[in-house]
Structure 1
Amino acid sequence: MENSNLLLIYLAILLGLLSIAAFFVVRQVIKTRRIESTLSRLQSKLTKEKGTAQEYYELGSLLLDKKLYTQAVLYLQQALKQLGDDDSENAAVVHNALGYAYFAQEQYDLAIRNYKEALKITPAYVTALNNLGHSYERKQLMNQALEVYESALAAEPQNSTAKRRADSLRKRLVATSDKS
């Protein structure tokens, strides 16, 4: 009797765990399908006709998520061309995404140029500041990187990325100056 109760409990637990796993798998499949459908729809539309800046940006962002950086750059550049002069806030976001696409391809100078464009439009754009700092780090421009991270912290004192990177850079710069 006791063994059969124990077996039922194990089976119930196993069934519960499998149900939870199935839920997450189905949810991920639905999400992936939705993304692929949107990607397909946008690619199809934008190859046939001119789209809006939002559509080009959305497609560029989806391609970034899929790590198709070269294609993403093309659509993000199109998004910038479609934006009007009065849409500067969105232009900053597109420049930041474009900077990320170049950064991912290790084209740090182009990434830096786009991050700076985003910051010219929106000076306290913390994500662009963090990204610019990271680009400077990759180019071994540690003083500039630290300066940018400190700007990010001035704009958003609780920014964990800027805090962590700035602390790390300060330690490295002190260690370097101690060796001299």
Structure 2
Amino acid sequence: MPTSLPQTYLIILSSLLFILAILVGRQVFKVRGNEIKLLKLEKSGAIDSSNSEKLYELGSAQLNKRLYPQASLTLKKALKKINDEPDDARAIIENALGFSLAAQDNFTEAIKHYQNAINVKNDYPVAMNNLAYAKQKLLKETDAYEIYQKVLMLDPKNKTAKKQIEKINKMRKNNSENIIYKKGF
């Protein structure tokens, strides 16, 4: 039985609305889950905890909610409370704190924390990518390029490093073409 044009239109429209409803529903559940996690951590007194793990969890939940100033304070507390935790934990907290500071456009401080994370854990590609990104934001493309190269030595399939290296190379090429054009050669 052939379908008419209005029926086809209604089928396509209802399919699109169904897909849209699923996507919106997933996002609502995700946001609600983050809010519930944050509320549970706040009610459990994680902010006054002497446990760096609980403070890190609270800081991560705050980062997910994009509460960057609060996350920075919480993660700084977590760093102060680290005692017998493994070096990986310190590196993860330093990286998260750097991310929180970078999100507030405080790239100079973020770089310090990324470097601390890398000093604690040398083969930490996420912190290295974040460090290179912060250097790019401070217009230190050469440093960023070298760091991305190191990331690719550690993880040859790292998509972030590959993409950013291409971006830097493209920017360098455009800059050299502009210089030649301005000089009239």
The TM-score by the shorter chain falls in which range? 0.7 to 0.9
**Are residue 128 (structure 1) and residue 121 (structure 2) matched?**
no
* Counterpart Cα distance in 2 of 1:122 and 1:144: 19
Do 2:34 and 2:64's aligned partners in 1 also have CA atoms closer than 8 Å?
no
Identity level (%) = 35
**Are residue 167 (structure 1) and residue 153 (structure 2) matched?**
no
Q: Is the deviation greater in 61-70 or in 153-162?
A: 61-70
Q: CA deviation at 1:13?
A: 6.5
Q: Is the deviation greater in 159-168 or in 98-107?
A: 159-168
Q: CA deviation at 1:62?
A: 1.7
Normalised to the residue count of structure 2, the TM-score between the two structures is: 0.80
**Are residue 97 (structure 1) and residue 113 (structure 2) matched?**
no
Q: CA deviation at 1:153?
A: 0.7
* Counterpart Cα distance in 1 of 2:68 and 2:49: 21
Q: CA deviation at 1:172?
A: 3.7
CA deviations on 1:13-44 (whole Å, 9 max, x unpaired) are 76665555444444433332222111112123
Computed over aligned residues only, the root mean square deviation of the Cα atoms, in angstroms, reads: 2.9
**Are residue 117 (structure 1) and residue 100 (structure 2) matched?**
no
* Counterpart Cα distance in 2 of 1:51 and 1:167: 44
Aligned residues: 179
SS in 1 for 2:66: coil
Gaps of 5+ in 2: 181-185
Do 2:46 and 2:54's aligned partners in 1 also have CA atoms closer than 8 Å?
no
Do 2:49 and 2:55's aligned partners in 1 also have CA atoms closer than 8 Å?
no
Q: CA deviation at 1:169?
A: 2.2
Alignment match, 1:84: 83
SS in 1 for 2:96: helix
Alignment match, 2:44: 45
* Counterpart Cα distance in 1 of 2:48 and 2:104: 28
Q: CA deviation at 1:81?
A: 1.9
Normalised to the residue count of structure 1, the TM-score between the two structures is: 0.82
Q: CA deviation at 1:166?
A: 1.8
